[in-house]
Structure 1
Amino acid sequence: MSDYETPIMSVKNLSKHFGEGCSNCRDVNENHLIRNFCPDCGTVYACRNVSFDLYPGEVLGIVGESGSGKSTLMRSLYFDQDVTSGEAYLRSYEMGSKNVFEESSQKKRYIRNHLMGKVYQNPMLGLRMGFSSIGNIAEKLIAAGIRHVGEMESKGRELLEYVNIPVYRMKEAPRNFSGGMQQRVQIAKALSNNPPILLLDEVTTGLDLSVQASVLDLIKELQRELNVSIVIVSHDLAVIRMMADRTMVMLDGKVVEHGLTDQVLEDPQDRYTQQLVHSLL
């Protein structure tokens, strides 16, 4: 089996619950829940046994309405929150032999700083708005173990030019930038450690259409040039159609459909996916 046929990331039965659960819902009794909410104890089953593989150089799209579990899944993958249960294996970490969800906080930080990058929907979660743009990139490089100031400045300048941030503004704070420019600084920061996996969570939400297009074009160009594997979350099917090789559809914390993007969008099998696609026709 070639490297391209071996997943770069495998996620198995990832579940995230907000609440302790009760005897009526702890075994995720489908008939008892109201969508993904237990009316007796208030537990929310945000992700329910989500499984998927991500392959080298692939863009995997995740689509679904608000509250479907998309962003919870992304926060779990980047260790922004702990999972309730499940497994995840990275080919570039311990040869894919260790469930990264069970690793120590120190090892999770290593994975975040060396093997993954993330771009948040809200730039305030991914950037320090009072730091300079190049300072934000330096922060990520320092976390990855780089200490040479000249190397950090050279890398930061190169990345900011790469994402079309004018060099004369590299020492300016992102709080002075437009939303599209802030997202481009986030992308530069996320790519600074040359991660094999990039997580993009609703990166175009709230941006003007022309700015959305430029950000997506940049991501496509970077993906082609760097051959990075991407998981992109969106509620916008047009974004998924443009970006993704394969698509997962989520509803109430579950994956209801999964396949090649063209198949999912042109011939949806699940009733919810059909409604989602037809609502845009």
Structure 2
Amino acid sequence: MTDFEKPVLSVQHLHKQFGPGCTHCEDPVSPSLVKNYCQVCGTVYACRDVSFDVFPGEVLGIVGESGSGKSTLMQCLYFDQDVTSGAAYISSYQNGEKNLFEESSQQQRYIRNHVMGKVYQNPLLGLKMNFSSIGNIAEKLIAAGSLHVGTMEARGTELLNKVNIPVHRRKEAPKNFSGGMQQRVQIAKALSNNPPLLLLDEVTTGLDLSVQASVLDLIKGLQRELGISIVLVSHDLGVIRMLADRTIVMLEGKVIEQGLTDQILEDPQHHYTQQLVHSLL
């Protein structure tokens, strides 16, 4: 298998539930679930047997309504949540042979700082708002073991230029920035250690349309320039259409359809996907 045939990320049978579960909701024949919620014990099944691969230089879109499990999936991939069961492998970590979810918390921090970057929907989760913009990037670099101040400053300046933050504002705190500028600082921070994999969780939600367009153009340009792989979560099919090569559709914690983005948008098979596509037209 060549490097381009080997997935950058492989997720296998990821399962995440909130609650203990019971004999009623775990009954394989007729579980007592309303959507993904058990009326008997109150357990929520946020992700149910989710599997997918992401290949080098590919943008994988994950789309679904609120509560479909897509953001929980991203939290699990970045270790913001513990999984209930399942496996994930990254080709650049231990030759893709170690299940990330079974690694120690120390190793998971290493993976976050060296192998993955994440841009959160809410910049408060991804940035220290009272640090300078370049200080936020330095924080990520220090966490990955960088100690040379001059090198960190040069890298921070390079990345802030790349995401179109004016040079005279690089030492300004993100709390003074607009939502779109905050997202651009998050993107710069996420890219600071040249990760092979970038996770983007609803990065344009809540932004004005013109700002959305500039952030999406930035992501598209950086992805092409750097050749990184991206997992992109959105409830907006317009965002998915613009950026994603392949798309997964989630509903009630399950993957209900997946394929090339053009195929999903032009010939959706599942009735829920058909409703999503028709709502875009």
TM-score (norm 1): 0.99
**Match in the other structure for 1:144:** 144
Could you say which residue in structure 2 is the equivalent of 1:227?
227
1: distance between equivalents of 2:74 and 2:30? 24
Partner of 1:185: 185
1:103-157 Cα offsets, whole Å, 9 max, x none, are 0000000000000000000000000001000000000000010000111111001
Query: What corresponds to 2:91 in structure 1?
Result: 91
Deviation at 1:30, TM superposition (A): 5.5
In structure 1, stretches of 5+ residues that fail to align are: none
Q: 1:151-162 maps to which residues of 2 (within 5 A)?
A: 151-162=151-162
Q: Which residue of 1 aligns with 2:79?
A: 79
Work out the percentage of aligned pairs sharing the same amino acid.
77
The total of aligned residue pairs comes to 281
For residues 192-234 of structure 1, give each alpha carbon's deviation from its aligned partner in whole angstroms, at most 9, with x where no partner exists.
0100000000000000000000000000000001000000000
AA aligned opposite 2:274: Q
The Cα shift of 1:3 comes to 1.0
The within-5 A match list for 1:2-21 is: 2-21=2-21
* Partner-residue secondary structure (3-state), 1:3: coil
Question: What is aligned with 2:247?
Answer: 247
The residue type equivalent to 2:212 in the other structure is: Q
Deviation at 1:23, TM superposition (A): 1.1
Q: In 1, Cα distance between the equivalents of 2:252 and 2:192?
A: 34
Contact 2:24 2:31 in 1 (8 A): no
Larger mean Cα displacement after TM superposition, 87-96 or 24-33: 24-33
**SS of alignment partner, residue 204 of structure 1:** coil
Matched with 2:170 is 170
Residue aligning to 2:65: 65
- Residues 47-87 of structure 1 show CA distances to partners (whole Å, capped at 9, x for unaligned) of 00000000000000000000000000000000001000000
Match of 2:132 in 1: 132
Distance 1:10 1:89 in 2: 5
Structure 2 distance, partners of 1:249, 1:28, is: 23
What letter corresponds to residue 191 of structure 2 in structure 1? L
Is residue 267 of structure 2 the alignment partner of residue 267 of structure 1?
yes
Asked if 1:204 is matched to 2:222, the reply is: no
Q: Give the 5 Å matches for 1:96-135.
A: 96-135=96-135
The Cα of 1:27 is off from its aligned counterpart by: 4.7
Distance of 1:15 and 1:29 partners within structure 2: 19
Distance 1:218 1:28, change over 3 A: farther
Which of structure 1's runs of 4+ aligned residues deviate more than 4 A? 27-31
Offset of 1:238 from its aligned partner?
0.3
Q: For 1:131 and 1:229, how far apart are their aligned partners in 2? A: 28
Amino acid at match of 1:53: D
Q: Give the conservation status (yes or no) of the 8 Å contact 2:246–2:261.
A: yes
Against the structure 1 CA distance between its residues 28 and 153, is the aligned structure 2 distance closer, same or farther, given a 3 Å change threshold?
A: farther
| CA-CA distance at 1:26 after TM superposition | 2.9
SS in 1 for 2:37: coil
RMSD: 0.9
Task: Sort the Cα spacing of 1:56 and 1:251 in 2 relative to 1 into closer, same or farther, 3 A.
Answer: same
SS at match of 1:279: helix
Mapped to 1, the partners of 2:2 and 2:18 lie a distance apart of 40
Aligned 8 A contact 2:32 2:40 in 1: no
SS of the equivalent of 2:60 reads strand
Is 1:277 equivalent to 2:277 in the alignment? yes
Partners of 2:155 and 2:240 lie apart in 1 by: 31
Counterpart residue type for residue 167 of structure 1? V
Residue 257 (1) aligns with residue 263 (2): no
